[in-house]
Amino acid sequence: MSTQIPVSHMAFVRARAGRSMELGARLSSLIEPSRQASGCLHFALQHSLCDPELWLVSGFWVDQQAMTAYFGTPAMQIFAELVQELVVNSLDFHTFSEVSAAQAHGEYPQLNSASLQQLAS
């Protein structure tokens, strides 16, 4: 039996000048279909409080397979359309997987707990 490891995606989408409200309206069409997608734990659209051109689309999924399946749905076509129609100035897309404290610590074995406490202060 395989263990499901939660994963997420975050897309920082910057609108071209004067197109932010259009971008937000079009991205909002992703919310409900994405929340209904198989394996979706949470899906959100956020607008920056500091930068009126910047939007964040984030999704959290039960595992990599669910997220990958979602990426293959017609809903994702909106990103290509927004770029082709010159609504988007930039698109910065990242995927992440959950790690335990031990796994994170394993990435930086030279850090001991005293070093971590120093960094935190």
95-114 residue pLDDT tens: 999 877 777 767 655 555 55
pLDDT at 19: 97
66-90 residue pLDDT tens: 999 999 999 889 999 999 999 999 9
Closest CA to 65 of 115, 107, 112, 6: 6
Structure tokens of 47?
């607008």
pLDDT at 111: 54
CA dist 112 and 66 (Å) reads 36
pTM here? 0.80
Supply φ then ψ for residue 92, to 5 degrees.
-120, 105
pLDDT at 1: 46
Mean pLDDT of 51-78: 95
pLDDT at 107: 62
Closest CA to 45 of 35, 85, 90: 35
CA geometry: angle 47, 52, 57, nearest 5 deg: 30
CA 49, 79, 34, 75 torsion: positive or negative?
Answer: positive
Ranges of each domain in the chain: 7-120
Collapsing DSSP states into helix, strand and coil, what is residue 82?
Answer: helix
Domain 7-120 classification at class level: alpha beta
